[in-house]
Amino acid sequence: MKIKNIVTVLLVSFILASCAPAAKVVPTETVMPLSTFTLVPPTSTSTPSTPEARIDKYMQLSHSSFSGVIFVAQKGKVLISQGYGLADRELDVANTTQTKFAIGSMTKAFTAMGIMILQERGQLSVHDPICNYIADCPTAWKSITLHHLLTHTSGIHNFTDLYPELKDEVNICREYKLEEVIAYFKDLPLDFAPGSQWSYSNSGYFLLGVVIEKISGESYETFIQKNILQPLGMSESGYDRSSTIVKNRASGYSIERPYYEIVNAPCYDVSLKFAHGGLYSTVMDLYKWDQALYTDQLVSKETMNTIFTSTVPIPSGREFPDGAVYGYGWGISNYLGHRVVEHGGGVYGFVTYLGRYPDDQVTIIVLSNMDFESPFSISRGLADIVLEEK
């Protein structure tokens, strides 16, 4: 059902944004935000005295139309955990800290952790060829390892980029078998020789989910629940099945042109998102995840260092800031002289971001149920406030 009561300021912002270079229309597990519009904050003579107050004022003035939840913590202290806008516009339900959001490609960090858990158990190695685990493996994939998949250096084409071309063949609302999805990209030529370049590929993380299932003998959903979510007490997180009613889950919204109306986002079955974008969570659960990454609760410190250490450069102008490298499920870069480990996500109706400043013990989480928001730019504004306090 279309919702036509969009505020005038959004209409003006979107019209201005339409003058910019065209962006991808389909939010298929993109890493960073799909829209770059922000509202220019009005001038103010008063400056709040605490970072908490400054954060809330920043959101009210610079992102007054934001719909979602923001979370900021520093050195174990939660500075703000606040919902804005509506989780369900039809029923007038507000976003709160208990609201669950599809997190899109932030799922990749959980998939990478799953692979590393299996490696610590001696059940696989990141240097194993992917063909050890895939039936009828293409000859072109023979030299591709799990490491290549983890770091987006496999050369396997990103299958979600094919959706516009396959619109008559792919019904994104129905449930797919793993073999059906793999068939969409299995016989395509590689984009480049394995290990020679970097290119974001949901296909690679889809295959890593297949590996997890094959080695563990369990579904991806069950493995992640038993080995990550449950041990960390992430009871408000899970696999985002459309067939399951999830209490407090937000509805997702998109913008429909040419009138820039806010509409219900189209369905998108979790079988197509799987291990590269299939989870949902809350800000508090994601904070538990963040805090666990400072410990050896899931894997050893040595393995954790491997996850967050990389020499794989991400080309300038891609999904991450200039100068970033890619670890295992995380982008690693520098902001204002501070090391940041981060990842975003985007699926129909939702855009998300989690940023970790480990040297400063700062965590920033932005979850939105409007896929035209810009969680990355919001996160940088929040970082400006928090890091300035040092």
Contacts of 367 (CB under 8 A, 6+ apart): 68, 69, 70, 99, 101, 103, 281, 282, 283, 350, 352, 353, 375
Residue 208 and residue 152: Cα distance in Å, rounded?
A: 11
Tokens of 186: 């299995």
Residue 347 and residue 267: Cα distance in Å, rounded?
A: 10
Instruction: For residue 362, give its domain range.
Output: 2-387
Q: In this predicted structure, what is the pLDDT of residue 36?
A: 33
Distances (CA, A) of 331 to 105, 222, 311, 318, 343: 12, 26, 11, 11, 6
* Cα-based angle 177, 109, 187 (whole degrees, multiple of 5): 40
Confidence of residue 47 (pLDDT cuts 50, 70, 90): low
* pTM as predicted: 0.87
Helix (H) or strand (E) holding 304, with range, is helix 301-307
Identity at 191, one-letter amino acid code? D
Count of domains forming the chain: 1
Phi, psi for 41 (deg, rounded to 5): -70, 135
Mean pLDDT in residue range 20-27: 36
Q: In this predicted structure, what is the pLDDT of residue 310?
A: 82
Identity at 359, one-letter amino acid code? D
Helix (H) or strand (E) holding 261, with range, is strand 261-264
Confidence of residue 167 (pLDDT cuts 50, 70, 90): low
Residue 345, Cβ neighbours under 10 Å: how many? 30
Confidence of residue 8 (pLDDT cuts 50, 70, 90): very low
> Per residue in 43-53, is it b (16+ CB within 10 Å) or e — as a string?
eeeeeeeebbe
Per-residue pLDDT tens digits for 178-197: 999 999 999 999 999 999 99
Whole-number average pLDDT of the chain: 88
- Domain containing 217 — which CATH number? 3.40.710.10
Per-residue pLDDT tens digits for 233-251: 999 999 999 878 899 999 9
